[in-house]
Structure 1
Amino acid sequence: MAKKNFPLTAEKLEEIIKKYPTPFHIYDERAIRLNIRRLFKAFDWAPGFREYYAVKAAPNPRLLQILRQEGAGADCSSLPELILADKAGITGESIMLTSNDTPADEFQKAIELGAIINLDDISHIEYLEKNAGLPKVISFRYNPGPVIEGNDIIGKPEEAKYGLTKEQLFAAYKIMKEKGLKRFGLHTMVISNELHDGAFIATAEMMFKLAVELKEKLGIAMEFINLGGGIGIPYRPEEKEVNIEAVSQGIKKAYEKILIPAGLVQTQIAFESGRAITGPYGYLVATVLHEKKTYKDYIGLDASMANLMRPGMYGAYHHMTVVGKENEPCTCTYDVTGSLCENCDKFAINRKLPPISIGDKVIIYDTGAHGHSMGFNYNGKLRSAELLIKTDGTVELIRRAETIDDYFATLTGFSGSIMDK
């Protein structure tokens, strides 16, 4: 069983909390850099390998700047995400807009930035051309339906709202070719938080065969094949991480077996990983406010589902430790909760932990993706700060905590500080 470690000492954490009160998310820059370097090294055999970091996982421009410095682009799915990528210095075809019921202004911004546009439906062709014009590079998202299995998070492909059927896919590329486009890519996303190495290799084989068929039938040579994200992380200590080197070698064999004989010798491989890049290197730090004993024993934190939605939304497991008690025996069973008026506002149910006291600090692990980004303001809860442990060990505030004035700022009929009323 792998041990999960927090990158700061208890003493250093207390210093930080004096300046930045809990709850907050904190990220480890050094670990993130080493992690993405590992991905690029694993695929150094692939011509022009690309990683479009999924901005939705952790939409903070400071994190995007770090990833850009390491060679990553940005996978965007909204206008603010496109702007975030641009502000972080990610430009042109290093940006991909993956369409999903997309409004005109998002297409317009993507065209303005020179981004690659990845369409989700054949009907979007006319809408895109009418409202924004056509890009230099076009891609379509393939939904294989029952040909391949999804997983618990993303569901069965045939029940997903995303992507084109195979018949639609061929028709869409034919339309774009007739409109004069000369540069094409291919995309899919059929699994999420997957830990089995073989799933990624099977997806690659499916997409490589599809690319060969498109070339043979339509005369289109794919410039890149985006295999999506979906690389999972071991949220539970007993789980094993994806062997990215083994995945790479399996994809390489498929590339050499399927694409090269078909003359697709320079086709680029791309991923749009988010969770796998930053997920393990973010932590939610919270303080114990209350202990309640009724039919169960409850520990109440100053954080809530508004700070980390995954456990309440998916029943997802996030490991947690109590600062200073990491090596004590876990002799107590708790539900660890927040203060929302929802019974699903729980970080853990029936979790074995050491005895906890009011004021203890709790570390919730693997919140570096789909953690802060999924926050919300239900019950008037305010989004927390985000901090960065820089490579030199200093800590940087990369997003301040929301204030009550922020909460009321979008309302009409108020002026000045609401706290002065």
Structure 2
Amino acid sequence: MEKKTFVTKEQLEEIIKTYPTPFHLYDEKGIRENAKAMKEAFSWNKGFKEYFAVKANANPFLINLLREYGFGCDCSSYTELMLSEAIGCVGEDIMFSSNDTPTEDFQYAAQLGATINLDDITHIDFLEKAIGKIPERISCRFNPGGIFEVCNGIMDNPGDAKYGMTEEQIFDAFRILKEKGSKEFGIHAFLASNTVTNEYYPMLAKKLFELAVRLEKETGAKICFINLSGGVGIPYTPDQEPNDIRAIGEGVHRVYDEVLVPAGMGDVAIYSELGRFMMGPYGCLVTTAIHEKHTHKDYIGLDACAVNLMRPAMYGAYHHITVMGKENLPLDHKYDVTGSLCENNDKFAVDRMLPEIQKGDILVIHDTGAHGFAMGYNYNGKLKSAELLLKEDGSVQLIRRAEKPSDYFATFDCFDFYEKLVEKQNK
């Protein structure tokens, strides 16, 4: 099954006349349709709220699209809190889920009225010292340890993860927090990453719902919400079937009725913190082939590199590639598709079968809407690319300009040397 692009070659040729490659392009229509589906999938739960994982894509234009559907922000740092406040997202619209958290981050989160999700039992004292009290509304992150197996061989290893409290610790934490004045409690957990199955959320939900029943019974803490966090993934490879968020929502509903309702906890709100699922398929990296090299292997060199999309270089992640205008040609050429960094792992694909590529061909690298631009960096003095939004009416909006050399040099104390250099070059 071939993955389809949400933009045509003709559209890209027009866009490139104004905005040269490389750039990240996002699909407004796809984002909106997905947000609507997410809301519908959990409409059975009166208190449901999706907190978009800002770390996945911190562009305020895109986050504001989700805000139109009542979504909040899941933040993990001071700067992400700043961004959320800047777009009017404050109070219970912010879930602050952090680890190894600095004092000032807790202080800012409390100032904004965010719901703070504690990663460790020792953070209770740390938070109290940081803000002078324990909030009335608080959440704790749970890590059961061991291996979490979903189905069809999909598993993850919470026991190796640095996040969350043990079962014994979360019981102790709830008792301590209750003694210190907390009145509204939540539970949070993230046990598997990028699952492409409709079973993950219902399985996680059952585990958390059963824990919630015991916590409320044994500690007397009033549990108001259960945060299923992220982990619902996307099909990066063409052979994978995408998750059905409505089926996922119904699966969670079924477990909710089985576990929480009989326990008298039918008023508990369900939260999620999806980033990849909300935005991933609705972004792509658009790049141009600028070199070809034939040595021990055949290489295609692009004007994009790992600073534009780090995932393949970082851990060999697969991102599908479409050579625009050649979608129906045979995949009869084997290439390593590379960028220009002085690192051998700067490859978008290794031994990938593609149609024959010529210099000047436009390539679309799929599924970069989450953990794409957001993971960018400036190694080798490379500058981050522009971000564009393909609007529902077919027009294109620049939602982040490309970096300039002046941006790269701006944080140096001796910034004047850059201005002198430009002066010299302009003579």
Q: TM-score, normalised by structure 1?
A: 0.97
Is 1:98 the counterpart of 2:97? The answer is yes
Q: Distance in 1 between matches of 2:161 and 2:231?
A: 15
Residue 427 of structure 2 is aligned to residue 419 of structure 1: no
CA-CA distance at 1:60 after TM superposition: 0.6
Is the 1:48–1:269 contact (alpha carbons within 8 Å) kept by the matching residues of 2? yes
Aligned equivalents of 1:386 and 1:87: distance in 2? 19
Alignment of 1:31-110 (within 5 A): 31-110=30-109
Tell me the secondary structure at the aligned position of residue 358 of structure 2. coil
Q: Aligned runs of 1:202-241 on 2, under 5 Å?
A: 202-241=203-242
Matching residue of 2:143:
143
Q: Distance in 1 between matches of 2:14 and 2:349?
A: 27
- How far apart in 2 are the matches of 1:12 and 1:147? 46
Instruction: Confirm whether residue 247 of structure 1 aligns to residue 270 of structure 2.
Output: no
- 1:28 maps to which residue? 27
* Structure 1 letter corresponding to 2:50: E
- The correspondence of residues 108-127 of structure 1 with structure 2, limited to 5 A, is 108-127=107-126
Once the two structures are TM-superposed, the CA of residue 131 in structure 1 deviates from its matched residue by: 1.1
Listed as ranges, the gaps of 5+ residues in structure 1 are none
Q: Tell me, what secondary structure is at the counterpart of 2:216?
A: helix
> Would you say 1:331 and 2:332 are equivalent positions?
yes
Residues 52-105 of structure 1 show CA distances to partners (whole Å, capped at 9, x for unaligned) of 000000001111111101111010001111111111222210101002101011
CA shift digits 1:331-356 (9 cap, x unpaired): 11100000111111100011111111
After TM superposition, list the pairs within 5 Å mapping 1:281-292 onto structure 2.
281-292=282-293
**How high is the sequence identity, in percent, across the aligned residues?**
55
Give 1:155 deviation, angstroms: 4.6
Which letter maps to 1:297? D
Q: 2: distance between equivalents of 1:61 and 1:289?
A: 32
Q: CA deviation at 1:9?
A: 2.4
Q: Residue 386 of structure 1 aligns with which residue?
A: 387
- Whichever residue aligns with residue 136 of structure 2, its letter is K
**One-letter code of the match for 1:378?**
Y
Say if 1:156 and 1:45 are closer, same or farther in 2 by CA, change over 3 A: same
2:233 corresponds to which letter in structure 1? G
- Structure 2 length normalisation: TM-score? 0.96
Structure 2 SS opposite 1:145: coil
Partners of 2:198 and 2:64 lie apart in 1 by: 29
C-alpha distance in 2, partners of 1:19/1:410?
29
Give the letter for the 1:103 counterpart: P
Q: State how far apart, in whole Å, the 2-side matches of 1:100 and 1:50 are.
A: 22
Partner of 1:358: 359
Runs of 4 or more, structure 1, over 6 Å off, are 150-154
Amino acid at match of 2:89: I
TM superposition shift of 1:147: 6.4
Deviation readout 1:222-247 (Å, 9 max, x if unpaired): 11000111111011111011122222
Deviation at 1:313, TM superposition (A): 1.1
Alignment of 1:294-373 (within 5 A): 294-373=295-374
What is residue 402 of structure 1 aligned with on the other side?
Answer: 403
Task: Write the distance in 2 (CA, Å) between the matches of 1:153 and 1:201.
Answer: 14
**Per-residue deviation, 1:394:** 1.1
Inter-partner Cα distance in structure 2 for 1:106 and 1:393: 40
- 2: CA distance, partners of 1:31 / 1:62: 15
Q: Deviations over 1:28-72 (max 9, x none)?
A: 011101001101101111121110000000001111111101111
| 1:192 and 2:193 matched | yes
Partner of 2:5: 6
CA contact (8 A) 1:223 1:266 kept: yes
Give the distance between the partners of 2:391 and 2:104, measured in 1 at CA. 36
Tell me whether 14-23 or 53-62 shows the greater mean CA deviation: 14-23
Bigger mean CA offset, 193-202 vs 274-283: 193-202
Corresponding residue number in structure 2 for 1:169: 170
* Cα RMSD after superposing both structures: 1.6
Q: After TM superposition, give the deviation of residue 145 of structure 1 in Å.
A: 0.5
2:264 aligned residue: 263
Secondary structure of 1:146 counterpart: coil
Change (3 A) 1:246 1:86: same
Query: In structure 2, how many angstroms separate the alpha carbons of the residues matched to 1:219 and 1:177?
Result: 8
Structure 2: tracts of 5 or more residues without a match: none
**Aligned residues, how many?**
420
CA deviation string 1:288-312 (max 9, x = no partner): 1100001110000000011001111
- Is contact 1:312-1:345 (8 Å) kept? yes
Structure 2 match to 1:17:
16
In 1, are the aligned partners of 2:140 and 2:186 still within 8 Å (CA)?
yes
1:113-164 CA distance string (max 9 Å, x none): 1100001001111111111233331000000102634899995111110000
Q: Distance in 1 between matches of 2:170 and 2:377?
A: 36
Q: What SS class does the counterpart of residue 238 from structure 2 fall into?
A: coil
Query: Does the Cα contact within 8 Å between 2:289 and 2:300 map onto a contact in 1?
Result: yes
Hey, what's the Cα distance between the residues in 1 that align with 2:403 and 2:155? 31
SS in 2 for 1:344: coil
- Matched letter for residue 183 of structure 2: K
Whether the aligned pair in 2 keeps the contact of 1:62 and 1:88 (CA below 8 Å) is no
